[in-house]
Structure 1
Amino acid sequence: MRVFCSRFASPLLAALAYSQLAFGANTTNDEPVLLLSEDSDFHFQLLAGLAESVNGGADIGPILGAAKDLKAGSFESFHQRFYALANDTKAAAEDPENSYDPVNVRDTWFSAATYFRMADFYLHGNWSNPLIKSLWVEQTAAFDQGLAALPIPGERIRIPATNSNFTVEAIWYAASTSNGKNSKLPTLVIGNGYDAAQEDSYHTFVVPALARGWNCITYEGPGQPTVRRNQEKGFIPDWENVVTPVVDWLLSKQKHNVDKKQLVLLGNSMGGYLAARAAAFEPRFSALILDGGVWDIYSAYTGQLPDELLSLFESGNSAAFDETINNLLDGDDMPTSLRWGVEQGLWTFHTHSPFDFLTQTKQFRLKDVVEKIKMPVFVADAEFEGFFPGQAEQVKEALGDKATLHTFTGVAGYHCQIGAPQEMARTMFAWLGKTLSKTKTCQRSSHHYKC
């Protein structure tokens, strides 16, 4: 990791840079893989892009080529390099000679979509930037071309949230039914967290699930990419209002061949809180996967604030706190992970006030509802977890025997196993196979399992 603090005249800025408010990817000096950038946050995002190549969402050489020309800390250079790559890949996808092969069509358009998402990643500090919406239009159109070229085309759906003022944006993926059209198949409901799109979930979770005969539905709620852009909705803590409508939709559609006794919810990154919260109020799930475990979002942020800034926040002086943070953001020497983390938080929680952003996160804590979670839970932890360190263990302890804690180490030890999706998939589906086989022999009620 780069050492930024020596360049800062402000002691507060130096303290913030050291604490890495926005949770840099891996804040140790012992990186498990070859660094792709001297900027640790760029390294993490480049590794995430490379990981999409495992399941048809990118190519390795183009991402490494873009990485070669990045200027550490320059959000504009990251945007420009991946915007150029996205447009080059889009042009290749539009080449008539490409259209004769559906695999060419699918992989090229999916890659273009990935590069458009990467071009957007660091742009959310200026809400009026038209690229925030135009790049998303591009990525969505490109991804939809890939969806249409799947052996069983994916289907975008919009599900009104009951008694809520938003609509869930989702994508349905049907698995092949080798035993006839009336076969009932296990189904995975997949949600992300702070920044990733549901299109990313296709390459991380959906492809390996389809290969194992699982249906999938990915979704986005308030604060997440499409809902935040199209509906101007920031994150809400009561995530059951997002997930329960998805379950209702799944089980009301007989044509979807959903086995209601093998319905599994997965939450990725901050989605580890969101999914756990939803599962506390949604007993129709047979199992829950948290990648990773998130106990308290507020404490994760404030636990890394310098004492003087935390004291200022806790004093309730919102004007002074906002002025201090905004002055830091206006500087040129902010670490990438700090700048991005604050800007992304303001954008996804739909507020221009850092004080309000942190205040909102107080509502995102699992301890208030954890006792209501009754199904088996897989909790993933990571050796180099830099976003919610130590929280997976807290989740496991609170859940007791209902939970299995698995710590990924070494090259799979980044947050959410970035760069090692095959290891995550192998581990997750091995646990699901064992767990669902066991629960089939259990007597299920609407509240709990008894074996």
Structure 2
Amino acid sequence: MQLFNDPIQNEFAGALMGLAPYGSADIGEVDLLISRVTDGDDDSFFEACSAAARARIEEGDAAAAAGHIETAYDCYMRASLWLAMSYHPLYGTPVDPRLADAFHLQMHTFEKALRLGVVRADPVDIPYEGTKLPAWFIRAPGHEEERRPVVLVGGGWDSTMTENHFGFGIAALARGYHVLLHDGPGQGKLLIDEGLTLRHDWDAVVTPVVDAALRIDVVDPDRIVYWAWSLGGYFAPQVAAHEHRLAAIVADPGQMDIGVKLTAPLARFGLDADAMARLPELSDEDERTIMAYFSENRGLHWKIIQRGFWTNGGGDLTGFLAEMMKWKLEPSEIAMITCPVLVTAAESDPVSSDSKALYDALPGPKTFMLFTDAEGAGMHCEVLNRSLANRRTLDWLDDTL
């Protein structure tokens, strides 16, 4: 769906529209956003999204003061997602102060919503390597005191728990699952405030989350699910290889080798076989050529230079590639995955390129689920038809658990 010619603005405006079934935005709100943004101008995109969020916060405050708690909850939740979308195009270092301020308001507003009592939600203490993972436990409405399965809601490359909750946490709650939202290093507070970057051995992040879940009395210890999307499609099988207390995982889309998706296309810049074999090392000339191309390509500039250099560390192209080449599931790791696995793929999503290969390599119970263009779900994370993706995934979880 083409809302903006600019690929980054189009992606995040599209997410607002795609998550509409879960209360993100109405069509008229997105249409108004488009009219207020200068295509390709990140400042105007930030201001338009922020203004919409502030309007909803004001509406929510007035509703809460008048005792209209459901309205306040809806307004605060919407505002938190609009704030999240506002600052994504500003990614990069040095960190734009507007990004940090919008993030802090986003999480404050998200917390205001959760503390209203519309859903029963509590912050969770999850120690992690000298700090704490931001986390919230939300009980399934109508089943607050029942011991039930829990979905550990995981994110991807640049999402926070707010976006992840809209993506599939809300749908899981409606289906009767408890939900444990959490961010990790390279995401949200740990990235923006503490400077911690993503890591390829994501089990070190999720194992403390499982520990925390097991301390919650209404969590069924035999039915803990880890569900993650986008880059989380690599996280999920990597975690399952090392964390064996999971009853099932969802990898949306499944991924085995992130590094090769970044290094293999570099051959188009004239790198010969020897130069490709020496990666991540690059000659000065090759690095200048590649960086010049990335700098002139809006989408790649954002994904690699702005987002990748910041969220993954490395600081330059060689360092970034060196880090990303660690992001690979070895056959020995895949052989260690014993719980049931749902591997998804989307027909027109390049990130899904190795989803079927992951599925084929899995030794235990497994299901492959393809989402197609004909269903309106063939894009990355099925973001313009999340309802379909969530229905099918939750049906699979119901059957599996």
TM-score, with length taken from structure 2: 0.91
The superposition leaves residues 237-293 of structure 1 with CA deviations (integer Å, 9 ceiling, x where unpaired) of 111111111111111232xx1111111111211011112111111111111111110
User: 349-358 or 271-280, which moves further after superposition?
Assistant: 349-358
Q: How far did 1:141 drift?
A: 1.0
Tell me the equivalent position of 2:136.
Answer: 171
1:414 is displaced (CA, Å) by 0.8
Q: 75-84 or 184-193: which moved more?
A: 75-84
Deviation at 1:96, TM superposition (A): 5.4
Q: Distance in 2 between matches of 1:233 and 1:126?
A: 13
Selected match of 1:244 from 207, 221, 230? 207
CA deviation after TM superposition for structure 1 residue 97, in Å? 7.1
Q: Percent identity?
A: 26
Quote how far apart the aligned CAs of 1:87 are: 2.3
Distance change (3 Å), C-alpha of 1:97 and 1:379: closer
User: What residue is the counterpart of 1:231 in the other structure?
Assistant: 194
Task: Give the Cα–Cα distance (whole angstroms) in 2 for the partners of residues 428 and 108 of structure 1.
Answer: 28
Residue 349 of structure 2 corresponds to residue 385 of structure 1: yes
Residue among 17, 24, 29 paired with 1:57: 24
Cα distance in 2, alignment partners of residues 216 and 309 from structure 1: 48
CA contact (8 A) 1:286 1:376 kept: yes
Counterpart pick for 1:299 among 260, 272, 288:
260
Aligned partner of residue 337 in structure 1, secondary structure = helix
Q: Aligned residue for 1:373?
A: 337
* In 2, Cα distance between equivalents of 1:153 and 1:309: 57
Checking the alignment, whether the CA contact within 8 Å between 2:70 and 2:118 is kept in structure 1 is no
Unaligned runs of 5+ in 2: none
Distance 1:177 1:184, change over 3 A: farther
Aligned 8 A contact 1:195 1:224 in 2:
yes
Q: Which residue of 1 aligns with 2:301?
A: 339
Residue number in structure 1 paired with 2:184: 221
Match of 1:420 among 374, 385, 400: 385
Residues in 2 aligned to 1:115 and 1:193: alpha-carbon distance in whole angstroms: 18
Q: Which residue of 1 aligns with 2:216?
A: 253
Q: Determine the C-alpha separation between the residues in 2 that align with 1:358 and 1:344.
A: 13
Corresponding residue to 1:132 among 96, 99, 107: 99
CA RMSD of aligned residues (A): 2.2
Gaps of 5+ in 1: 1-33, 437-451
> 1:99 touches 1:105 (CA, 8 Å); kept in 2?
no
Q: Distance in 2 between matches of 1:57 and 1:399?
A: 36
* Contact 2:18–2:386 under 8 Å retained in 1: yes
- Judging changes above 3 Å, is the alpha-carbon distance between structure 1 residues 77 and 293 closer, same or farther for their aligned structure 2 residues? same
How many residues are matched?
Answer: 393
The corresponding residue for 2:151 is 188
Which residue in 2 is equivalent to 1:23? none
Aligned pairs (5 A) from 1:311-322? 314=278, 316-317=281-282
Q: Is the contact between residue 73 and residue 335 of structure 1 (CA under 8 Å) also seen in structure 2?
A: no
Do structure 1's residue 119 and structure 2's residue 86 form an aligned pair?
A: yes
SS in 1 for 2:25: coil
User: What letter corresponds to residue 336 of structure 1 in structure 2?
Assistant: R
AA paired with 1:378?
L
The normalised TM-score by structure 1 is: 0.81
Q: Specify whether residues 189 and 60 from structure 1 end up closer, same or farther in structure 2 by C-alpha distance, changes over 3 A only.
A: same
